[in-house]
A and B are shown apart, each in its own frame.
Chain A
């Protein structure tokens, strides 16, 4: 209980709203642009500012900005027009600004480069086939495409491209963006969708086919910010206009992705150059032990609060379900259905309702903890031999006394086993919380996947596995402790 209260105190001790929050999406270029925004605001204003790196995908950061949990994030005009606000069929830049304004959002002048879609081919292959433009592809119907999953469904994506050019190709595979380059290099695909600032383009000397029908829109990089952002911070962001052209961005992306250079240091370099004053990346990484410790606390807080709340709710619900068979079936069915919601979907569904970070993650973990506990409370209580309940009734025990003195002690080992299951599941699921900015062990795993860094992935995965084992051990001990001695004797004998 005391631990629980400590965790609760920690939760509410996190700094309050006055801070400016910059967020970034889960890819390197966006993280660097986020760092640039953080450093520029820190240098140009007195406001405290933090950067929630790799907060989530476009949907997560956009919703978080509307909800006021995020003040600034690096966005692309094309993404806003054709993905985020696609249903509004925005015709011009002016319409986009108006559509954002109606949501309390604004965008800065372009940062100076656009990160467009382009169709890429290996140079040898392009030369061999004599392909130079997208239209040229019509003469080669056997070519294999490998495109990012998101590109398959976008308003300006595969289907639209195919229709616009009348492409004959039928062999299209969905891939992770970074894997597309590997597939291209190994000859498994002939064509991929590239982003024009991807460093792999220069690395492999790829040919970008000319978009001769001008199908792809422009994806100018801008900062999206809330209209209540202090004006000094807005000026700092506007000061970054024109800071980077495509070549510069591609080079910096390459240094981060292939050279292993720190995003903060790279961002500081750009901001120093643009503002003419030396800016240092002050977000020096804490040591490994301190990092793991901080994440352990975050992770424990997530699991502890969610599990505590689940126990408080699931115990009485389970008791009620055991008492009233019809209601019991209904309840077990309902929590069973909740359990089948895919966890990633639940995390994302909860954002509009609860925002990002701790609270929705706890809510999701709470939901998944309900079933094992309710089910075990129910089965623990309904499996008590009828003769014992008769004895209790014949003694004259009231329903409440029977529950407290006889039923709960007899069901205790089963109930504890349910809580243990819920706890172990929650420790594993909590790593997904990093996707919506809850921190914990999922954070280094997420970064590790982005940078293809196995050590970083292990920095999250090993403690997560260890914590699951520790929790399992603790609950095994607790299970023995709550099992009445008389029941242990019986188990030993039978």
Chain B
């Protein structure tokens, strides 16, 4: 997956923005250095499962999230993909072992601050303006105001948000704008991993395509590790060649779209592909 980062995207990394992201860049460079091979995974799940009372939401899953790459969790409703993402975000306490940066996670609060999390409609706080939403955590951590403002401006440029939009309340923003604000908010603290839960599902087709392109550019520009949840195969294919297909709380197959087509692990895989391509 390291190879996917082609030369042009690396050139883009030289923009002034990227200098602020030394940490993730450094990791990227390590990952890219010939001879080292695979860098250690950012997240490593070992037999992780989730149960709500009697209901099993996630059967034991083992999975690695590799640095600098985009991993897509795909599957129909109720397949457990969102539950798995919520485990990574520290919103669900699972059974089994979750490692972050090589260490078993015991205190999620420390980990959460190194993650960015975006939900379907942005998950913005309705009582705060876009700018206040974005700056909330920086202010809470007592970061320098001017620096925070500067960072907001940079990320707003990157996500094509203008200043007037930043000073509006969520109720005054369109679906696409809300999603952009949500992405800016998730990126504010330079996260190691960006967790995206159906970020495009609530949008009109045209806006959706537009934002998909922008999002991909942003991901490549920043070189951030991404885990994305979607139910759309075309969206999954667009973002990554490492897909994890889920069904009924279990992983059915892991691999690229081509592998799914060529060597389906289960009749369900073919069924899912056919259904997606039919409509």
Interface size on B, residues (CB 8 A): 27
B187 smallest CB distance to A (angstroms): 12
B79 smallest CB distance to A (angstroms): 19
- Known A-B contacts A391-B119, A490-B126; A405 and B109 likewise in contact (beta carbons under 8 Å): no
Q: Are A388 and B125 in contact (CB under 8 A)?
A: yes
Residue B263 is within 8 A (CB to CB) of chain A in the complex: no
Chain A residues in contact with chain B, CB under 8 A?
387-388, 390-398, 401, 405-406, 409-410, 484-487, 489-490, 493
Q: Are A490 and B125 in contact (CB under 8 A)?
A: no
Nearest CB to that of B172 among chain A residues?
A489
CA distance A374 to B130 in the complex (A): 32
A-B pairs, top 7 by smallest CB distance, nearest first, are A484-B127, A394-B117, A391-B123, A486-B169, A396-B113, A489-B171, A396-B112
Q: Which of A396, A410, A486 contacts B137 (CB 8 A)?
A: A396
Nearest CB to that of B124 among chain A residues?
A391
Q: Which of B90, B128, B171, B172 contacts A394 (CB 8 A)?
A: B90
Residue B89 is within 8 A (CB to CB) of chain A in the complex: yes
Q: Are B91 and A393 in contact (CB under 8 A)?
A: yes
Tell me the residues in window 164-178 of chain B with beta carbons closer than 8 Å to chain A beta carbons: 169-172
Q: Kindly list chain A residues whose C-beta atoms are within 8 Å of the C-beta of B113.
A: 396
Q: Are B126 and A410 in contact (CB under 8 A)?
A: yes
Q: Are B128 and A486 in contact (CB under 8 A)?
A: yes
Q: Are B171 and A486 in contact (CB under 8 A)?
A: yes
Residue B45 is within 8 A (CB to CB) of chain A in the complex: no
Q: Are B171 and A396 in contact (CB under 8 A)?
A: no
Task: Please list 23 pairs of residues, one from A and one from B, whose beta carbons are closer than 8 Å in the complex, sorted by A's number.
Answer: A390-B89, A390-B119, A394-B90, A394-B123, A395-B112, A395-B117, A395-B137, A395-B185, A396-B109, A397-B136, A398-B109, A405-B140, A410-B125, A410-B126, A410-B127, A485-B127, A486-B169, A486-B170, A487-B126, A489-B169, A490-B126, A490-B170, A493-B171
Nearest CB to that of B188 among chain A residues?
A395
A313 smallest CB distance to B (angstroms): 26
Nearest CB to that of B189 among chain A residues?
A396
With A391-B119, A395-B185, A486-B128 already in contact, 10 other A-B pairs whose C-beta atoms are closer than 8 Å: A394-B90, A395-B137, A396-B115, A405-B140, A484-B126, A484-B127, A486-B125, A486-B170, A490-B171, A493-B171
A480 smallest CB distance to B (angstroms): 14
Q: Which of A387, A388, A405, A486 contacts B129 (CB 8 A)?
A: A486
A410 smallest CB distance to B (angstroms): 6
Q: Which of A391, A398, A406 contacts B117 (CB 8 A)?
A: A391
- Known A-B contacts A406-B125, A410-B126, A484-B127; A387 and B119 likewise in contact (beta carbons under 8 Å): yes
Q: Kindly list chain B residues whose C-beta atoms are within 8 Å of the C-beta of A493.
A: 171
Q: Are B136 and A486 in contact (CB under 8 A)?
A: no
Q: Kindly list chain A residues whose C-beta atoms are within 8 Å of the C-beta of B86.
A: 390
Q: Which of A394, A395, A409 contacts B127 (CB 8 A)?
A: A409
Nearest CB to that of B91 among chain A residues?
A390
CA distance A486 to B129 in the complex (A): 7
CA distance A397 to B108 in the complex (A): 11
Nearest CB to that of A393 among chain B residues?
B91
- Known A-B contacts A391-B119, A493-B171; A405 and B136 likewise in contact (beta carbons under 8 Å): yes
- Known A-B contacts A486-B171, A493-B171; A391 and B109 likewise in contact (beta carbons under 8 Å): no
- Known A-B contacts A395-B112, A398-B109, A405-B136; A390 and B171 likewise in contact (beta carbons under 8 Å): no
Q: Are A390 and B123 in contact (CB under 8 A)?
A: yes
CA distance A409 to B117 in the complex (A): 22
CA distance A395 to B169 in the complex (A): 19
Nearest CB to that of B127 among chain A residues?
A484
Among B123, B125, B128, B169, the most chain A Cβ lie within 10 Å of the Cβ of B125
Tell me the residues in window 83-108 of chain B with beta carbons closer than 8 Å to chain A beta carbons: 86, 89-91
